[in-house]
Amino acid sequence: MSEIRIYRRPMAARWWARNPTYRRYMAREASSFLLFAYALTLIYGLWRLGQGQAAYDGWLTWLASTPALLLHLLMLIAMVVHAVTWFEVAPKTMPKTGLPERAITLGGIAAAALGSLFVVALAIWWGAWR
């Protein structure tokens, strides 16, 4: 009796580009690189802050430059992608609540919008009244 030869297909190198669900997953996961970049940006800015006014003013000048603004725009998009996809999957990480999953997602996104609005409002107050 001849030996049965099973055939193992290799996994496609770019499997994550093959359907909308995989692409959405990879976009969600890849947003983390820009979130990491933002954390490093803040750490660097704090370091300049610790070095005194002249160093920090130089940092502020760079922040207003076109490359810096473009980078932050990308990081903003990454934060939004992160927030939306975070609450899309959040219902799957919780036991059943009786609420429809869509309600949890939309509630989370609303909380995120309010949270970010609050941060901006806080900054306006900090700059205007303090």
Q: How far apart are CA 27 and CA 39, in angstroms?
A: 19
46 within 8 A of 36, measured Cβ to Cβ: no
Asked whether position 99 contacts other proteins by CB under 8 A, the answer is no
Residues 79-98: x where in contact with other proteins by CB under 8 A, - otherwise, as a string: xx-xx--xx-x-xxxxxx--
* Cβ nearer to other proteins, comparing 33 with 102: 33
Q: How far apart are CA 114 and CA 120, in angstroms?
A: 10
Q: How far apart are CA 111 and CA 114, in angstroms?
A: 5
Asked whether position 63 contacts other proteins by CB under 8 A, the answer is yes
Q: How far apart are CA 27 and CA 23, in angstroms?
A: 6
Residues 18-57 that bind other proteins (CB under 8 A): 18-19, 21-22, 25-26, 29-33, 35-36, 38-43, 45-47, 49-50, 53, 56-57
Q: How far apart are CA 13 and CA 98, in angstroms?
A: 40
Asked whether position 103 contacts other proteins by CB under 8 A, the answer is no
Asked whether position 130 contacts other proteins by CB under 8 A, the answer is yes
Cβ at position 20, least distance to other proteins in Å: 10
